[in-house]
Structure 1
């Protein structure tokens, strides 16, 4: 059963990182070809690929190749694609730049963005307690690449520090993005309070939020 969160490519062990990069370059391949890419023995390659399969990043398919036993073939899963550079932020920037020129487009665009993000949050944060919902929030932010640090503060309070922003260039030019994310945090604490203490888009080294529950 694959783990819930997709790991970051740069945080994987070097051997597994090389194998994933090898599969990206070669496409579907076998352990022998990948051993040359990763400078590992074939048994070591198979062991690492089995681990990557458990993470949901690699598929293993047995295929006949001439006489003898079928051979395992390995390939990246769609989930593994998120480990490699994506151009979504650039495309989003282009869309927002286009919307800047026409307020009639800008207003419904941001309204749709807000509604979509809030709907996703409402479905994701379903724990029965505020503490449980805040934990779900931290896991969701980790999956999105924010590298969150969640600290408990006495009195039903939490300090949430986001060490990375996957949308920093976009947020620096379009602060509405930060406002949308702040509203998503609020969904995790209905009836509570979300206060932004500092923001990377404003020059701080990290984004920090103070969360408080009144329930």
Structure 2
């Protein structure tokens, strides 16, 4: 069953996030943390599909290519990872900080979490996909950070890592029960840090359920 496979993939991704968090230390590189995730996915019988680990100013690049940059105390760290097992994908993003977070970080983290909650609350059958994007974007716009939310709110997830429905401001597609997609608003402050929080949501008869059981709260290592 697709639902069971997607749920299992989310569990595996959560475990990989925890493995990365356990490995955080001053001097470990972004690429080394990606490798930690790869090993964890493979230990659970999944194929590692991708890994974005961006530390410090690199977290402000939504599609950062992980490098040999070391993590330093005080860095905000974005971790966006996914794998594939039994024909289906995972895709989950969480935030960590090594030591005390940068100035202003918690305010932005709380804002992105509020946008995520607003988008999730807007999901139900019969709603246009663009309304989910609008729900997230309205929260960020109202706080004055709209110019720093630079990508769509989400994308379909299943047998492909990116597939319909796409949560964009111009997609009138009507959501139906059983659809699966990511919800991943973000705020990216160049030269400082970025925050993205991502859930995989399944449309239900009365709203949605999310597949990850990992808290969106900031993890301080």
TM-score of the aligned structures, taking structure 1 as reference length: 0.28
Larger Rg belongs to: 1
Which structure: greater helix fraction? 1
Structure with larger RCO (C-alpha < 8 A, sep 6+): 2
